[in-house]
Amino acid sequence: MVNIDKVKKKSTSMSPIAVPDADRLAKICYQTFESISKTGKPILGKEWTVLSCIAKYEHHTKDLEVVSLGTGTRCIGRSLLSNQGDKLNDSHAEVMCRRGFLLYLYDEISKAMDPEENSIFSFNESKKKFEISSDISFHFMTTFAPCGDASIFDIESSRSEEVIEPSESKRSKLHEPRDEKSIDNTKTTNFTGAKLIYKNTEVPQDLMAQSIGDVRTKPGRGEPTLSISCSDKLAKWNVLGLQGALIYSLLDKPIYYSSITLCDHQHCDIEAAKRAIWKRFTNTKFSPEKPFTVNQPLIQMSRGKKFKYERNMDRDPAPGSIVWSKLKKCVHQVSVNGKLQGATKKSGGRLKISKIELFRCYFEILKKFNDKLNIFEGDVDFTSLRYCDAKSQSTEYQQVWKNLKRDYFKVWATKPSEINMFIIS
């Protein structure tokens, strides 16, 4: 029996927002994952992965469907970054899923300009912006605690089940580990393998210190990465929106998660997730200007059926990362080492969620609708438009991001500027 969907009040001035029940959401996410082809899926009984999904909820009909999903536990080292926008730096499930969601948004924006299509968006002629239907909200689910701040919590206060520390030989199977647990002399604590970032790199620091609220880079056993932890990325999206800078320039307001569902009560903690995603901003001077806000999604735990490919210390992490996005023609691709599985230089195949392909989606919308959108004034040579310059046009977004780094994050991994200077050739 499916529980009645919950109601969340964001503030006294807003109407209640319906939130799908955690078990219902998890069940639909698992069913969607099972329904897609086996390409890129872990070998059952031998490999594990993390699954993250974004589902669209229609309040009037209570219809719930997955529009994007991602799997994965890996990211690439700093020396492997590409200046062509054709490689994924970060292939963790949360990031794969969110990038698939960007594809979905671009598809819905294109449909909004076609009177023959149904879309979650409508175009406001006076604002020259796309508006999302008020009947729709988006909900996130993940089968493991996001790496970074959300993974630091006292297990004993989080649950009563006995915790068994894995042997070192089993730990070694986690080549690009998510967060792991550690036992000290007094209590059992879930800790993060993500590494702290410091401004003053000349001063020796404990990069593995389990301080809360600090920005970290992804965990890994090989070359250090410049990919920010999933906890920090979720916190960023919780202020700036899921849509990113490019899509925000097309919209009247950012898009936020209305709820976040965790699906492993042994390795997740609701209070730690709240702290990592939005409570960390309380008691700071940071206060974004509208339409941006510090979003407060309902964070809930599913205690229903477990993900059959859940992390198991006796198995190996799956080498590939899946992205699936619900478009007119659904996208299902696999990333290995940041590139499309099976692609060769001769074939020229690229991941649809790579920066350059997402930029191409934006590029196509500008070519068709710039006279209506009025993002760029005058004649624009789109063939020479750089990715970084297009992002800079989203001035409201960039100002809030600048303030967020200044007033709260303080530090953030800086990638070489060259990797954002590519164009659509």
H helices within 269-382, ranges in order? 270-277, 355-373
d(CA 360, CA 357): 5
Is the separation of the CB atoms in 91 and 75 below 8 Å?
yes
- E strands of 114-163, at which residues? 121-124, 129-132, 136-142, 153-154
**CA separation for the pair 121, 113 (Å, rounded):** 9
Beta bridge partners of 394: none
Q: What is the pLDDT of residue 316?
A: 94
Smallest CA-to-CA distance from 56 within 101, 92, 22, 123 is with: 101
Give the SS3 label for residue 332.
strand
Q: Which tokens belong to 11?
A: 């503030």
CA dihedral 334, 336, 342, 347 (to 10 degrees): 100
Query: What residues act catalytically?
Result: 94
The DSSP H or E segment spanning 147 is: none
CA distance 280 to 199: 20
pLDDT for 199: 65
Distance CA 141, CA 312 (A): 19
- Distance in angstroms (rounded) separating the CA atoms of residues 234 and 257: 10
- Tens digit of each residue's pLDDT, the chain (425 residues): 334 466 565 443 344 567 899 999 999 999 999 999 999 999 999 999 999 999 999 999 999 999 999 999 999 998 999 999 999 999 999 999 999 999 999 999 999 988 899 999 999 999 999 999 999 999 999 999 999 898 888 866 544 332 222 333 332 332 334 454 433 434 456 788 788 887 665 555 777 778 788 889 987 667 888 999 999 999 999 999 999 999 999 999 999 999 999 998 777 889 999 999 999 887 777 888 999 999 999 999 998 889 999 988 899 999 999 999 999 889 999 999 999 998 766 656 899 999 999 999 999 998 888 788 878 776 677 778 899 999 999 999 999 999 999 888 888 988 899 999 999 87
CA distance 152 to 213: 10
Q: 294 in helix, strand or coil?
A: coil
CB contact at 8 A, 270 and 300:
yes
The amino acid sitting at 400 is V
Strand residue runs (E) in 133-187 = 136-142, 153-154, 181-183
Looking at the DSSP assignment, which residues form a beta bridge with residue 220?
none
Pairing of strands 129-132, 195-196: unpaired
SS3 48: strand
- Rounded to whole angstroms, the Cα distance separating 90 from 324 reads 16
Please identify which residue in the block is written with the tokens 């969340």.
8
Residue 260 amino acid letter: I
Distance CA 368, CA 233 (A): 32
